[in-house]
Structure 1
Amino acid sequence: MQDTIFAPSSGAAPAAIAVIRISGPQAGEALRALAGRLPAPRRASYGALRDGEGQVLDHALLLWFPGPKTATGEDLAELHCHGGRAVIAAVEHALSQLPGLRKAEPGEFTRRAFTHGRIDLAEAEGLADLLSAETELQRQSAMASAGGALSALVDSWRQEVLSLSALVEAALDFADEDDVGGLPADVPVRLSDLRFTIAQWLDRPRAEALREGFRVVIAGPPNAGKSTLFNALVESEAAITAPIAGTTRDVLTHPVAIQGVPFRFFDTAGLRDETEDVVEAIGIERARAIVDQADLILWLGEEGQGPNADERLWDIEAQIDRIDHHAKSHPRHRVSAKSGEGVDDLRRDLVTHARAALPRPGEAALNQRQHAALAAVVSALQDAEARQDDPLLVGEGLRLARVSLDRLLGRATTEDMLDTLFGRFCIGK
C-alpha cells in the first residue's frame, strides 16, 4: 500500500491560516483520528483537532475529498488551521504518529497527480513555472501550459498521427485486395501539413528565455560608463562605480522586471587587449564569454568597434553629460546614466524589443525538453514524407513521431527526469 503523505501547502509561517494537506489511502482515517469524524465530501466543516492523548491542538476547517476525482487522484484531506509555527508543528507531529503517514517530499503531491493521470508532464512543467513566476508575462505563459493549452495541442497532433497510421496500416493489411491500393491520396498532403504546423513551433521563442529573463549585456572599454548605466537600468547601486580603469573585474548580474517583462542585466569588465592585472584579465575573458550568450548587447565603446553580433548589438552613446564623451554618428540611443537623460527612452526600447523576442502574453512556450521532443517528431515526419513509396517506412516514421509526442506528455519518460522536475516544487506541492 502506498504511503499517505502530509505537508503544509500554504505560505511560510507565521500566517493567518495554514493549509495542511493529506493525500493517500489513510487520509480519511487521519482525518477521523484528529477530528473525530469524517465530514461530508467537498463541504467545509468546523471542528477541533486533537492529538492521540485527546489534547486540543487547534480549531480548524476540515475538508474531505474522496478519490479519484481529487487534485492528486487519491483520497485527500485538508486542515485549515491557524498559521502559527507551534500550531503547525503540533498538527504535523500528531499526523506523524499515525500508522502509514509520513511527511511529503518536495513536489510529491504534484508527482502523484501526474502518476494518477490528473495532469500530464507538460502541465506539471507549466505548474512548476507558475510557482516560480515573478512577472506578469511569466505568469501568463505558465498559466497557458499549466492549464493544458499545450497539452491539448499536442494531443490533437497525436490524434492526427494515429489517424494517418491507421490509413497506412490499412494499406499494408489489404494491399492485395481490390478495394485498397497503396497509400490514400491525401496521406502525403496531411503528412506535410502536420510537419509544417509542428515545425512552426520550433521557431517560437523558448520558455528558458522567459524564465531566466531577456539577457542584456552592457559592454565596452574601461571607464565607458558601463556600471553607471547598469545601476540606472536596474535602479540599484548594484555595481561599484569609480573613475579608475578596471574597477569592474567580474561579470555582475541583476534580474529586474520592467513593465512586466523579465530582464537579466549584465555588467562586464572593460574590454581591452592587454592588461598586466591577472584578475582583470580573467574578468575580461568572462566578459567576452557572456557577450557571446547575450540576447542583446549595449555597446558603449567606439562606434563600429563592438563585438560582431549583427542585430544583437546596439551602439549606445553614453556619458553625454560629459564634454569629453565619445560622440557617435548613428547611435541607437544617447544617454547619461548620471543625469538620467535618455535612460527612460532606452528602457522603453528595451521593453519593446524584448517583448518581440519573448513568448507573447498568454502563449505557451516550449522548454528545452519539449523542444527536443517536437524536433524529433518533425524529423520522423520528414523521413515518412521522403519514403512515401514504401508504406512500411511511412508507418515506422509515424510510430516514431507518436513515441516522441508521448514522451512530451510524459507517457514515456524516465524516473531521473521526473525526479529533477518534481524536485523544483516546494514540500507542500
Structure 2
Amino acid sequence: MIYARFLVTLKKEFLNWKLWAGRSIVLSYAAVAGLTIVGFTKLAEFSFDWFLALQGRNRWAPLFWTPIVTIVIVYLTRKFALGSAGSGIPQVIAALDSKCKPEDRGLFVSLKLSIVKIFLTSAGLLGGLSLGREGPSVQIAAGIMRNAKRWLPSAANISEASLIMAGGAAGIAAAFNTPLGGVMFAIEELSKSLEQRSNGLMIASIVLAGLVGISIDGNYTYFGVIQPGGFSLNIIVPCILVILVSGILGGLFSKVLIISLRVNRGLLGKFRTNSPLIFAGACGLIVALIGIASNGETYGTGYSHTQSIIAGSESTSYLFVPLKFIATWLSTWSGVPAGIFAPSLAIGAGIGNTISTALTLPSAQILIAIGMAGFLAAVTQAPMTSFIIVMEMVDGHGLVLSLMASALVAGGISKMISRPLYPSLAKLQLLILETPGARENTVD
C-alpha cells in the first residue's frame, strides 16, 4: 500500500511535464528578476556617482539641478506611469489585497511599471534626492514575476498572487543580498495565507533571485563585518537609549509620511494637489539646501556614509539624523518613485553613532547596528525582516539577540505612535480603484 502510494506520488511529481514546465518558467523568471535588480543597482549607483561628480565640481550646482530633475521625474510619473510613484511596496501590497481584482492588478504591478520604475528611481539618484532603491526593487521584481503567469500552463496551479508575492520578496533578496531577509519579508509583509507561506517553489524563486546577485557581485556584505567583541555591562544603558530613540523617531517618521501623503487639505496639501510640479521643485530645492548644509552627507541612499561610520573612517555631525530625516521625507513627499529602506538604515546608523560619540563610548559599531535595526523596524513595523536584513548586511551573527531585541522593542514603540506604514499607504493606492476611468489605464 505504501509502495503503491509512493509510486503514484513519484509519477505525479516527476512525470508530469506540465508541472515541471511551470516550475521551470517560474524559476527562469526569478533568475531574470534577480538579474534585473542587479542591473538596476548598477544603473542607480552610476547615476548617483554622476551626481557626486557634479556636486564635487560645484557644491552649489544642486540648487538648480535637483529641483529641475525632481520636476521632470514627477511630470513623467504623473503623465505616463502614476503607479510607479512612491516606494513600490504599497503597490505590491495593494495588488495582493482582496479588494483588488486580478484585472486591476496592472494598475499597481506590471512589466511596464517595472521598466519605468528602474529609470525614474535612478533619475532620482541622478538628482541627489534622498531615497533608496530597495522598495522600488520590490515592485520591479513583482512586475517581472507577474508576467510569468501568461506563459504558465493551467496545470501548473500557480496563482498570480503567489507570483507577485514571490517577486516582491525576490526584489528584497536581490537588492540587499539577503535571501533570508527576502523570505522573511514575504512572510511578514506580503503573505497573508499559510499556503503561500509554505510554498516551496516560491521560496526557491526568492533564493534563486538572491543567488543571481551573488553570482555576479560575489557574496559580499554591504556594510562590512561587525565584531561585537566581549560583552560589557557599560553598554546596556546606551543600547537601551539607542533603541528608545530609534523607536520614537521611526514611529514619528512613519506617521509624518502617512499624514503628508494622505492629507490634501491645508495650505501645503492644497499646494501639492493643485501645483504638483511646482511643489516637487520646492521639495527638490529644500533637499539641495539640506545637502549643502550637511556637506553632502544627506544626498542619495546614505550607503557610503553608513559604511564609513561603521568602519570608523568618517565622523558624522549631530545634525545628520534630523537633516536626513527631513530630506528623505521631502524626497518621498515630492511624488517621485523613491524607497525609504536605505535612508532608514542611514538614519538608524546615525542615531547609534551620535549617541556613541556623545557618550564617548568605544562600542560605536554595536550601537550603529542596533540603531539600524531599531529605526528600520520602527518605520516598517516589520521587526523580524528588519533585524534579519541588518544581520545579513553586517554579517552580525554575533549580534543576533541584540538586533532582535532592538527591532522588537523599537517596533513596539512605533506601534504606539503610528499605524503601520506600508498597509496604510496601500489603502491609499486602493483608492485609485474608485477613481473614474482608472481601469482604462491598466497596463499589463
Asked if Structure 1 and Structure 2 have the same fold, meaning a TM-score greater than 0.5 normalized by the shorter chain, the answer is: no
Instruction: Decide which structure has the larger Cα Rg and report it.
Output: 1
- Structure 1 length as normaliser, TM-score? 0.26
- Structure 2 length as normaliser, TM-score? 0.25
| Bigger fraction of residues in strand | 1
Structure scoring higher RCO (CA < 8 A, sep ≥ 6) equals 2
| Bigger fraction of residues in helix | 2
